[in-house]
């Protein structure tokens, strides 16, 4: 059969290519049978804080300097044991000069 995934946590990003001013939603997902609490999000090595809605964090407005490698971590619970787990990093790119400005010219 297919190999089992080795990552117990996966960081899902609403878009990996963004424009300045966009909103991005980070979502930390665990294996179906694992409980996930105390979720934290990181950009490079900076702690962005905990999830506001369980396992999600929205960042807005995005700026050029917000590009980089994002990951999440959380306390995973399975039956009688608990441990800290972290996702693999996901690279997010932010582009400048929005080609569709909202302001009328």
State which residues form the domain around 52: 9-95
Whether 4 is covered by a domain: the verdict is no
Whether 72 is covered by a domain: the verdict is yes
Whether 100 is covered by a domain: the verdict is no
Confidence of residue 2 (pLDDT cuts 50, 70, 90): very low
| pLDDT one-digit tens code per residue, 45-96 | 999 999 867 899 999 999 999 999 999 999 998 888 999 999 999 999 999 9
Residue indicated by tokens 């409980």: 35
d(CA 38, CA 75): 6
Whether 3 is covered by a domain: the verdict is no
- Residue 68 or 97, more confident: 68
Question: Cβ neighbours of residue 41 under 8 Å, at least 6 residues apart?
Answer: 26, 28, 47, 48, 49, 50, 51, 57, 70, 71, 72
Global pTM reads 0.82
Number of domains in the chain: 1
């Amino acid at each position: 059969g297919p190999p089992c995934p080795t990552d117990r946590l996966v960081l899902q990003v609403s878009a990996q290519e963004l424009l300045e001013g966009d909103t991005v939603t980070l979502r930390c997902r665990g294996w179906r049978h694992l409980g996930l609490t105390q979720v934290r999000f990181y950009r490079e090595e900076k702690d962005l804080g905990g999830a506001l809605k369980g396992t999600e964090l929205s960042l807005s407005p995005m700026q050029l300097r917000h590009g980089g490698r994002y990951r999440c971590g959380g306390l995973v619970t399975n039956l009688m044991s608990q441990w800290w787990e972290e996702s693999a990093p996901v690279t997010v790119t932010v582009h400048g000069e929005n080609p569709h400005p909202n302001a009328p010219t």
